[in-house]
Amino acid sequence: MGSKKHKKESKKKKHRSRSRSPLDGEERERKRHKKHKDRKKDRSPDVEEVPVDSHLQKDSNGAAHSRSRSESRSHSPPPEIRQTHREISKEKERSPEGGTAQESLSIEETNRLRAKLGLKPLEVAEKPADDGKIKDDLGEFYHKPAANIAQQKKADKLREKLEERREKRKLEKKLQTTLLAEESDDEDAIAWVKKSRELEKQKREAEKRAAMLDELDAEFGVSALLEEEQAAERQRRYDETQLKGLRVAHDIDALGDEREVVLTLADKPVLAEDAEDVLVNVNIVDDERYRKNIEERKKARAGYQAYDEEAELQASLGFQRPVLSKYDEEIDKGKSDKQRGFIIGDEDSIEAKKFRELMRQERIQGGPDKRLESLQLPALRPATDYFDEHEIQAKFKKPKKKGKMRKRPKEEPIDVEDYDAGAVPLDTDDTDVKPSELKMEIAVDDEEVEPDSELQAALARARRLRQMEEQQLNVPKVEEILEHVKEVKEEEMETESSGTMVLDATAEFCRTLGDIPTYGLAGNRDHHAEIIDFEREEMETEAETAGDNAGAWSRVDVRSERAPDLAAGSSVALDAEPALGGGVAGALQLALSKGYLERAGTAPAPRPAPHQLAARHYSIEDKSHTGEDDKYGRRERGHSGPLQEFREKSGFRPHVKLEYVDDDGRPLCPKEAFRYLSHKFHGKGPGKNKQEKRIKKAVQEGLMKKMSSTDTPLGTLQMLQEKQRETQSPYVVLSGAKRDHK
Amino acid sequence: MLEVTCNDRLGKKVRVKCNPDDTVGDLKKLIAAQTGTRHDKIVLKKWYTVFKDHIKLSDYEIHDGMNLELYYQ
C-alpha cells in the first residue's frame, strides 16, 4: 500500500508541474479511479453500488471533489437518498428475460429527478405535430405532408357536381323565357305608359316647330333661294376636279384608252387607319388576280433558280439583286398594293412613270455599250432525219470544177505529202544544202496525190506564206554564213519557228507505229554510218530539246537540213526489200537484212532509234498499262479507266501467275511466300531454330528428290544385280551364316 | 422528449427520458440516478464513438429509441 501511495504522490507532482488548469483536479481524480478499477473488477463483475444522489449533490456543490469521494466511499449514503433509490427500484420494470433489467421512469418522475439535478423539465408536447407539418430529423426542414388521395377524390367529385349544377343553371337561365304577363308589373306598366306619352309629345312639338320655321321661310322667300343653291351645288360637286387626288389601283395601261371603264370605290377594312379611297374596276381586279395566280403557280413550280433571268436583268440594270424574292410579297403585302396604280390628275407622275418605262425598255434593248446575253442555251430538240432549207443549200452547193484540175501547178514546188519541202531551199533560206541531200528526193507517185492536190496546194501556199513572213524577220542575218554563227542561228530558228508544224501521212503513220523494239537489233540498220558528225551533234541537241517540249507531234523543221535527214531515216526505215532474183548475193543480202544471217565480226551496236519517228507518248510501259487498265476498268467501273471495253481486247484474258522464289531460288508455295514477304516487310526474320528446321527440311527434300526410285538408299538392288551377273544365275543364295554371306 | 435505451450487456438496461438539448453529461446523470452508478464512472458509446460530456444529444444525432452502449471506467 505504501508503495502505491508513493506512486500517487509522484503522479500528483507530475500533474502539478504539467498544468494548473481547473480541470486538473478532476483529471487526477479520473486517474485514481483507473487505478482502483482493476482491483474492483477482480472482486466483482458488477460495478460498485453507489448511492444515487450523493455525488450529484456534491456535483451541484461543485467543490472539494476529491475529498468527498473518499468520504462517500467510507460513509454509508444518507437515508433519504437511499429511499429514493428504493423507490426507483420498486418501479423497475422487469424485462421478460431474466438477466437484463430495464428501468424506465415516468415523465413526472423524470421531471422530478431533473429538477433535483438542476435541469429543465422534459418537453412533452410535440409542437410541430399539430400544424400538420413534420420536421425532418434535423429539425431544419418541413416536409410537405403527403396528399390524401381519398380526400382529393372526394373533393374532385364535389367540384364536378358543383360544376354540373352551375352549367345547368346557366342553361336554364338561357332557356328561360319571360312571359309578358310575368314581366310587366303594375309599376312598370305605368312607367312605360308615361314614357311613351312623353315621346309622343316631343314628336309633336318638333313637328310644330318645323312647320313654323317653314312658314317663316316662305314668308321671306328664302326657301326658293336655298333650293336653287343646293341644286347648283350638286351640279358643281361632281366633275373631274372632284376626283382629283383619288388613286386608281390599276396601271394606266390596263385601262384602255378609248374604252369607258367604270370604277368603283374599293372595299377597305373598317378599322384601317390610313385607308384612302381607291378606285378599282371589278373586272380588271379579277384579271389581275388571275394573272397573279398563274405567275405564282409558275414560280412555285420553278422553285429555286440560281440564274433567274428576271433577277439577272434587275441586277444588270443596277437594281439591287433581290434575295429570295419570292417572299417579298409575303413580307410587305400592302406596300405593293399602295404603290400600284396612279393618281387621277397627277399628270407629272404618270409622265415620269412612262418615261422611266421607256428608259428601261431602252436599256433592255441594249445601250450603246451594253449587251445583255442570256445564259440559257437554245432548247434542245431531237435531230430530224431531213435537212432543212439552210442545210440543203449548204450541203449541195456543187463546187465549181476548174478545168485544169488534173494539172499540177508549176509554181508549187512544195508538196505536203513528201518531205522534199525542206529539201528544196527557199529563196530566203540561209541553210546550206548539201547536193547529196538534194539528190535524195523521193519520187512521189503523182496519181496518189492527184485527187486533192488542189486543196493541198492551197494549204501549202498558205503555209509557205506564213513561213515567209517569219523568215523575213531574219533577213538581215542571212548574209552571214560563218559556221559558228550559223549554228547559233539555227537554234534561234528552231525556237522561232516552233509555231509551225507540218503533219502528213508518213509522220502520222510513223507516230502510230511507235518505237519498234526490234528495230536495229538485227544489225541491218547501220544507218549511223550515213550520218555525218555534224548531223549527229544536231540530233543530240534535238534530243535534248525534245525532252523539253514533249508533245504528241514531232515537229518537222522545213527549212533546216534536218528534213532531208528525216527523209533519209524514213527511207531507211521503210527500205525496199532486196531483190531475191539477183543471184546468191541477192539472197544473202535479203537474209542479212531479214536478220537470218549474222554478219561476221563485231556485233553491230544497236543504233539509236530514229527518234523523229518515235511517238513521244508511246512506250513499252504504255503497253503494260493497257492490260492493267483493262483489269481495273473491269473492277471499278465508273471511277477511272476506260468507260468502254476495248473491242480488240474482248478475248483478252490475262493469265496471271504469281511465282515467288526465296533467296536460294527455290519456288515457294503461297504460304511460304507470304511468310517470306512478311519477314521482309517487317524486317524481322524467323528465329534460329526455325531457320535450321527449314534448312533441314530443304535438305531432306533435296535428298528425296535425288533418291533413285528403283533402288534402296543402300543400293541393295544394284548389289543383287551385280551378284547375279557374277554368278550367272537368276537367283541368289541367301545363307544363314554370316561369314558365308556373299 | 426522447427516450434512449442504455445497455451495458452485463444485466443493466435502462430507458431514460431526456430532452434533445440535454448534454451527454446530463444524460449520464440521469442514468446514474436510475441505475445507482456514479455518473462520472459512466462512459457512453456508440460503436467506437465515445460521447463527450459537454455535447448535446441532438449534436450527436441521438434520436428517440436509440440504443447506447453503457460502459464504466
pLDDT of A32 reads 52
Return the pLDDT at A257. Answer: 65
Sign, CA dihedral A722-A726-A731-A735, equals negative
pLDDT at A52: 46
Task: Give residue-wise pLDDT tens across range A283-333.
Answer: 888 988 899 899 888 877 776 666 666 666 766 766 666 677 667 767 766
What is the model's pLDDT at position A51? 47
CB contact under 8 A, A102 and B5: yes
pLDDT, position B51: 92
Contacts of B1 (CB under 8 A, 6+ apart): A107, A122, A123, A124, A126, B17, B18, B19, B64
Over range A674-687, report the average pLDDT. Answer: 91
pLDDT band at A456 (very low <50, low <70, confident <90, very high): confident
If we measure between CA atoms, which residue out of B63, B4, B64 comes closest to residue A103?
Answer: B4
Contact (CB<8Å) A103/B14: yes
Residue type (1 letter), A386: Y
Mutate to test the interface with A, among B16, B26, B40 (most CBs of A within 10 A): B40
pLDDT of residue A203: 95
Reply yes or no on whether the pLDDT at A40 is more than 60.
no
Residues of B in contact with A107 (CB under 8 A): 1, 17
Mean pLDDT confidence for B31-56: 91
Facing residue for A52 by CB, picked from B26, B32, B40? B32
Percent of chain A residues past pLDDT 70, beyond the cut:
47
- Is residue A96's pLDDT more than 50? no
- Helix, strand, coil percentages for chain B (3-state, nearest 5): 20, 40, 40
Residue B60 has pLDDT above 80, yes or no: yes
Most confident range, picked from A169-183, A391-405, A619-633: A169-183
The shortest CB-CB distance from B13 to any of A100, A117, A124 is to A100
Q: Please judge whether A47 and B15 are an interchain contact, meaning their C-beta atoms are less than 8 angstroms apart.
A: no
Residue A517's pLDDT band, with cuts at 50, 70 and 90, is low
Determine whether A461 is exposed, middle or buried from the number of CB atoms within 10 Å of its CB (0-12, 13-18, 19+): middle
Strand residue runs (E) in A689-737: none
* pLDDT value, residue A484: 59
- Reading the block at residue A510, the C-alpha cell is 510513223
Q: Mean pLDDT throughout B10-34?
A: 90
- Based on its alpha-carbon atoms, the radius of gyration of chain A, rounded to whole angstroms, reads 66
Band of residue A100 on the pLDDT scale cut at 50, 70, 90? very low
In the prediction, which pLDDT does A248 show?
Answer: 83
**H-helix or E-strand containing A711?**
none
What secondary structure does DSSP assign to B19-48, as a single string?
Answer: -TTSBHHHHHHHHHHHH---GGGEEEEETT
pLDDT at site A30: 52
Helix or strand (DSSP H, E) at A390: helix A389-395
Residues of A with CB under 8 A from a CB of B: 29-30, 33-34, 37, 45-53, 55-56, 59, 85, 88, 95, 99-105, 107, 110, 113-114, 116-117, 119-120, 122-124, 126, 137-139
Those residues whose C-beta lies under 8 Å from the C-beta of residue A244, and which sit 6 or more positions away, are A344, A345
Pairing of strands A278-280, A247-248: parallel
Please enumerate in sequence order all residues whose Cβ is within 8 A of that of A363, keeping only pairs 6 or more positions apart, or say none: A317, A370
Nearest Cβ partner for B17 among A55, A56, A122? A122
Sketch out chain B's domains with CATH numbers.
2-72 (3.10.20.90)
Looking at CA atoms only, how far is residue B22 from chain A in angstroms?
A: 8
Task: Name chain A contacts of B12, Cβ cutoff 8 Å.
Answer: 100-101
Per residue in A567-580, pLDDT (tens digit) is 444 444 455 666 66
Radius of gyration, CA atoms only, chain B:
11
DSSP annotation of B56 reads: B
A218: left (phi over 0), alpha (psi -120 to 50) or beta: alpha
Cα–Cα distance for residue pair A556/A550, rounded to 1 Å: 14
Measured CB to CB, residues of chain B less than 8 Å from chain A are 1, 3, 5, 7, 10-19, 22, 26, 29-30, 32-41, 58, 61, 63, 72-73
Residues of chain A neighbouring B14 (CB-CB closer than 8 A): 101-104
- Specify the higher pLDDT residue, A490 or A137: A137
The partner residues of B42 in beta bridges, in order of sequence, read B72
- pLDDT, tens digit, for every residue of A350-409? 788 888 888 888 777 665 566 667 788 888 888 888 877 777 777 666 666 655 555 555
Q: Looking at beta carbons, which residues of chain A come within 8 Å of B11?
A: 46, 99-101
pLDDT higher at A454 or A314: A454
**Percentages of chain A per state (helix, strand, coil), in multiples of 5:** 55, 5, 40
What's the CA gap between A259 and A284, in Å, rounded? Answer: 13
pLDDT of residue B6: 92
A339 within 8 A of A240, measured Cβ to Cβ: no
Report CA torsion sign: A112, A117, A121, A123: negative
pLDDT given at position A2: 44
Length of chain A in residues, anyone? Answer: 742
Look at residue A44 and tell me whether its pLDDT is greater than 90. no
Does residue A732 or residue A8 have the better pLDDT?
A: A732
CB pairs under 8 A between A and B: 98
**CA–CA dist A77, A57 (Å, integer):** 12
Partners of residue B7 in chain A, C-beta under 8 Å: 100
pLDDT of residue A673: 92
Chain A CA closest to residue B64: A137
pLDDT tens digit string along A214-257?
888 888 877 778 888 888 887 776 666 777 778 888 877 777 66
**B39–A102 C-beta distance less than 8 A:** no
Out of B7, B13, B36, closest to residue A50 by CB: B36
pLDDT at A70 over 60: no
What DSSP string runs through A224-281? HHHHHHHHHHHHHHSSTTTTTTPEESS-TTTS-SSS----EEPP--TT-SSPPPEEE-
Among A610, A539, A557, CA closest to A422: A557
CB-CB neighbours of A537 under 10 Å: 12
How far is Cα A222 from Cα A186, in angstroms, rounded to an integer? 52
How far from chain centre, in Å, is Cα A311?
A: 29
- Minimum-distance CB partner of A122 among B19, B58, B73: B19
Q: State how far the Cα of B50 lies from the Cα of B47, in Å rounded to an integer.
A: 8
* Contact (CB<8Å) A102/B34: no
Kindly tell me if the per-residue pLDDT of A77 is higher than 80: no
DSSP A547-569: HHT--SS----SSSTHHHHHHHH
- For residue A210, the model assigns a pLDDT of 94
Q: How much is the average pLDDT of A111-133?
A: 74
Show the cell assigned to A335: 406596300
Kindly tell me if the per-residue pLDDT of A447 is higher than 50. Answer: no
Ranges A141-155, A509-523, A625-639, B56-70: which has the least confidence: A625-639
Of B33, B61, B63, the CB nearest to A52: B33
Q: Looking at residue A352, what is its pLDDT?
A: 86
Residue of A nearest to B26 (CA): A119
Nearest chain A CA: its distance from B11 CA (Å): 4
Cα separations (Å) of A193 from A91, A178, A182, A188, A189?
Answer: 98, 20, 17, 9, 6
Quote the minimal CA–CA distance from B14 to chain A in Å: 4
- What's residue A690's pLDDT? 92
Please state, rounded to an integer, the average pLDDT across all residues of chain A: 67
Whether A102 sits inside 8 A of B13 (CB atoms) is: yes
| A676 or A647: which leads in pLDDT | A676
ipTM of predicted assembly, 2 dp: 0.80
CB contact under 8 A, B17 and A110: yes
